[in-house]
Structure 1
Amino acid sequence: MTNAKSVGMRKTARLALVSLVLSGAAMGMTACQSDKDVDITKLGFESESPEMLYNQGLANMKAGNLLEAARKFDAIDRQNPFTEWGRKALVMSTFTKYRLGRNDDAVAAGNRYLNQYPSSQDSAYVQYLVGLAYSKQIADVTQDQKAATNTISAMSKVVNDYPNSEYVEDAQTKIRFARDQLAGKEMQIGRYYLERKEYLAAIQRFRTVVETYSNTNQVEESLARLTEAYFAMGIVEEAQTAAAVLGRNYPDSQWYADSYKLLKGSGVEPRENKGSWISRAASKIVGA
């Protein structure tokens, strides 16, 4: 009797436990079903087909809702990688992120696209978007110019790898601007050394502008600064050459007028020494 009673009690206990578990599960399911705030899209999942998501993304773009558009394209990219819809969505994801000002994200998405689809029909456009995203990050010349260097690299790929694309002309414009920024950075540092009378260090910076960035807007001033620095060091012949090259290329420049006045005040005039590095570099200067 005792054993039978004990077995019965254990069965009753198990049934009670099972009932409690099932009751809790049912309550949980009921709570989920009645909770109107549950949204699976917040979990990063979209239930629609990739085609529908893509069209929704385009519709949101047309309505000016770029954040929602980006979310739709990202969902396709995440849920349907390495498919045609995934490829197209990655292009649009790069574009929307660029338009939103999320330039680092645009660069990351664009580079991922180019790694996966290097020869696709949209590769030129995506490479151009990467260049645009870098160019938007170019800072004042007083700051680091890494973005300018990256812009030149990205846009040079547009020019060299896709020479027949419609993006080449603007890519070249962006390259010129970025190069002018890099030259401007050299000028800023050079002027700093010049003010401190560290003439050799200053000359090296101005020389870089003349030799490396000869087609930028900074060359004119760099030649005038070379005249000033060489003259201050007593290397008059190089100062005369810098002024002569400046006068030949920019005869109406105020920089040339100032350089001429500096030399004339000491009884000398601009005169080019054909053996000088300045004279050799002058052949690269626009207008030379």
Structure 2
Amino acid sequence: MGLVAWFNGSLTFVWCGFVAPRTGFLCAVLVALSIFCVTPPVVAAPFTEEGVHKLYEDGLRLFHEGQYKKAVAVFDKIEALYPFSQMAIDGSLVAAVAHYELGNYAESASLAEGYIDSYPSSKSIDYAYYVRILAKYMQIPDLGLDQGIALEVRNLAYEFVRMFPNSRHLGEVSERLAAVKQHLAAREFMIGKFYLRRGGYIAAIKRFRSLISAYPDSAYTNEGLYRLMEAYTALGDHKSAAAYLSKLDESNIWRARAERLLGGEDHAQAGREGTSIEEEGDNQGESAVPTPSGNADVGEETVEDAQREESL
């Protein structure tokens, strides 16, 4: 009992601010002081309807005033004092939103996930799923980095659409799903071009086929189809290249280029860096695809990250 300290080379006991030399009176001193100094263990407060409701109302007021840090502190207090109350359950979800507003996205996602695990039958369960998706979406990194969390957001959004088809949050989740699919399509496209420019035609074909299969409506699909044909042509497989021509939109700039490629005009350029074809588009003031967010190119580390993602 008490803190042990070395003082002037001899063992002494520090107890509630007093230093008692090691004498015959030590036991008596410790017993006497312990009566006044023992700190009772922290326990949950006795439940009172009025007390927990007052705290919860204070937390909500602070939240609606935009004082998110103070609101979080109040909800943490409710969780500590009244851990099994309905106010603690509801407060944890409000705290998740408060953390989101503060930019604490990892903490927000963690609280929402805890709510989902603990209260799967809650009437607010779709909202908890929604908050988790938003919080994780905000953690998606630039294209040059590992996209494991983007894949997770995509899968969580698919799950939400399947589980809550009538949720009021379905529209926004669907928008986030569309955005993350474009993001992942850009990732596949960039890595495919990385391989294509370096003569890794088989790897490029794999990436472009993945792009077309997983994200057929993306902004990168038409050029992805053309680059796929370019890779097959570079390998001398003109039959496989021709099979993709019909998939290109006739009004798209890449359709005319694909026809020229199959006609032999661009065979000399196929599989090289594609610079002359891209420069042609630039000179005409055309933009093949929207500029992806983050880095405009990928490197060896990005490709290694992408290879790891394939195992997810």
TM-score with structure 1 setting the length: 0.73
Give the deviation of 1:53 after TM superposition. Answer: 1.8
State which of 145, 148, 151 in structure 2 corresponds to 1:146: 148
Amino acid at match of 1:119: S
Give the deviation of 1:55 after TM superposition. Answer: 1.4
Match in the other structure for 2:102: 100
Match in the other structure for 1:253: 252
Q: Does the 8 A contact of 1:145 with 1:181 survive in 2?
A: no
Ranges in structure 2 where 5+ consecutive residues have no aligned partner: 1-23, 268-312
Q: For residues 69-95 of structure 1, what are the alpha-carbon distances to aligned partners after superposition, in whole Å with 9 as ceiling and x for unaligned?
A: 111112212322232111111110111
Q: SS at 1:206's partner residue?
A: helix
Q: Structure 1 residue runs of 4+, over 6 Å off? A: 45-48
1:83 aligns with 2:85: yes
Q: Distance in 1 between matches of 2:96 and 2:88?
A: 12
Match in the other structure for 2:9: none
Give the deviation of 1:264 after TM superposition. Answer: 3.0
Q: Which has the larger radius of gyration?
A: 1
Match in the other structure for 1:61: 63
Match in the other structure for 1:180: 182
Percent of aligned positions with the same letter in both sequences? 29
Q: Does the 8 A contact of 1:155 with 1:175 survive in 2?
A: yes
1:253–1:77 CA distance, 2 compared to 1 (3 A): same
Match in the other structure for 2:203: 201
Q: For residues 165-205 of structure 1, what are the alpha-carbon distances to aligned partners after superposition, in whole Å with 9 as ceiling and x for unaligned?
A: 10112111211211222222111111111011111110011
Q: Distance in 1 between matches of 2:174 and 2:68?
A: 28
Q: Distance in 1 between matches of 2:154 and 2:81?
A: 34
Q: Does the 8 A contact of 2:157 with 2:177 survive in 1?
A: yes
Amino acid at match of 2:215: Y
Q: Distance in 2 between matches of 1:207 and 1:201?
A: 10
Q: Distance in 2 between matches of 1:50 and 1:267?
A: 74
Q: For residues 105-156 of structure 1, what are the alpha-carbon distances to aligned partners after superposition, in whole Å with 9 as ceiling and x for unaligned?
A: 1111111111111111110001000000111111222211112112122222
Amino acid at match of 1:159: V
1:145–1:232 CA distance, 2 compared to 1 (3 A): same
Match in the other structure for 1:235: 237
Q: SS at 1:238's partner residue?
A: helix
Q: SS at 1:165's partner residue?
A: coil
Match in the other structure for 1:220: 222
Q: Distance in 2 between matches of 1:243 and 1:78?
A: 64
Q: Does the 8 A contact of 1:128 with 1:154 survive in 2?
A: no
Q: Distance in 2 between matches of 1:46 and 1:54?
A: 15
Q: Distance in 1 between matches of 2:194 and 2:90?
A: 49
Relative CO higher for 1 or 2, CA cutoff 8 Å, sep ≥ 6? 2
Q: Distance in 1 between matches of 2:114 and 2:45?
A: 22
Q: SS at 2:199's partner residue?
A: coil
Q: SS at 2:145's partner residue?
A: coil
Aligned length, in residue pairs: 238
Amino acid at match of 2:263: K
1:267–1:114 CA distance, 2 compared to 1 (3 A): closer
Q: Distance in 2 between matches of 1:158 and 1:115?
A: 15
Q: Distance in 2 between matches of 1:70 and 1:153?
A: 29
1:46–1:190 CA distance, 2 compared to 1 (3 A): farther
Give the deviation of 1:267 after TM superposition. Answer: 9.4
Q: Distance in 1 between matches of 2:52 and 2:157?
A: 32
More helix by share: 1
Q: Distance in 2 between matches of 1:217 and 1:78?
A: 49
Q: Distance in 2 between matches of 1:46 and 1:224?
A: 68
Q: Does the 8 A contact of 1:73 with 1:90 survive in 2?
A: yes
TM-score with structure 2 setting the length: 0.68
